[in-house]
Amino acid sequence: MESLDAIVPVLGSAVRLSIPLLFACLAGLWSERSGIVDIGLEGKMLGAAFAAGAVAFLTGEEWLALAAAVAVSVSLGLVHGFASITHRGNQIVSGVAINFLAAGLTVLLGQAWFGEGGRTPQLTNEARFRPIVLPGAETAQQHSGWGNFYAEVISGHNVLVYLAFLAVPLTWYVLDRTRFGLRLRAVGENPHAVDTAGISVARLRYAAVVIAGVLCGFGGAYLAVAQSAGFIRDMTAGKGFIALAALVFAKWKPVPAMLTCLLFGFLDAVAIRLQGTPLPVVGQVPVQVFQALPYVLTVVLLAGFIGRAIPPKASGVPYTKDR
């Protein structure tokens, strides 16, 4: 039990750090299962984080901040959909454009509105999503082992953490057990067959883009008003791209996606824990080495352990209606 007590703080940090990845990864899953490659996950989360930080500061309401984050993210998603679905443009170019737009616009608006170098002012605790203590957690915390695990890893997170994990079985159920999900997956595999059956390919793909936007909005709001106390410049720090890597590693399935995001969150938590700690034999290691560790391990995992990953057949291919 002592070994479990020693690793519990790292596991708790891993859960918290994995949430933005999980939201973005599920967003990418919805989008790519419909045949729309979404490189713009990073930009949508960044725009959502700025909207959440700004609205939370101005109103002091975390739920309004979440609504603003979702609205901004869905709007950017619809821009991506308009370019890639309606006008059959290049999906990679559209996603990259959204990333550039969000990176520049958030800094510009942040400086113009708040004058703090592109960041929003510090939020009070009342304007943020606060931790939820589950029943029995305070009593369990007094005991070592699994009691401490329950109090630190299962309990004590904000509502967005629990919604992120709830989205995993919900995504699996909708995609695998409902008519809408089956049609959506069919669009990602063979849109011509779906069109022949009289089902609108564009409508299904727009629905997927909107769902992806909602999930990215949750991820951005989590960064700005739950994990942090406000928006800072480039605060997504490549999480959208890591989420795409996790999606490929999980082979476009929701439960493996959750486990992969937890793994990346664990690596990130370990890297933070090791910063400033001298290693045996090696001694003191520059902090930049630990900061780069999750990204290096991401490449190693994808290069060495991914195996064969086959994306949806129509992924990234604009659909043109048969004449």
> Per-residue pLDDT tens for 255-310?
999 998 998 888 888 888 877 777 776 677 777 777 777 777 777 766 766 666 77
* Residue 152: per-residue pLDDT: 84
**C-alpha closest to that of 97 among 39, 50, 49, 47:** 39
The confidence score (pLDDT) of residue 172 equals 95
Helical axes 91-114 vs 41-59, angle rounded to 10°: 20
Q: Which residue has the tokens 């007590």?
A: 5
Tell whether the model's pLDDT for residue 97 goes beyond 60. yes
pLDDT in tens, 28-71: 999 999 999 989 999 999 999 999 999 999 999 999 999 999 99
Q: What is the mean pLDDT of residues 169-189?
A: 94
Which pLDDT belongs to residue 307? 67
- Minimum mean pLDDT among 187-196, 235-244, 251-260, 274-283: which range? 274-283
d(CA 111, CA 203): 38
Q: DSSP letters of 101-164?
A: HHHHHHHHHHHHHH-STT-PPPPPGGGSPPPB--TTHHHHTTSSTHHHHIIIIISSB-HHHHHH
Bridge partners of 157?
132
The whole-number pLDDT of residue 253 equals 92
Q: How far is CA 86 from CA 19, 130, 183, 314, in A?
A: 32, 41, 19, 16
Neighbours of 61 (CB within 10 A): 15
Compute CA 145 distance to the chain's CA centroid, rounded to the nearest angstrom.
30
Q: What is the pLDDT of residues 197-216, one digit of tens each?
A: 888 999 999 999 999 999 99
Q: Are 229 and 163 in contact (CB under 8 A)?
A: no
- Say which DSSP state 85 is in: I
Single-letter residue type at 278: P
pLDDT at 2: 62
Residue 230 and residue 224 in contact, taking contact as beta carbons nearer than 8 Å: yes
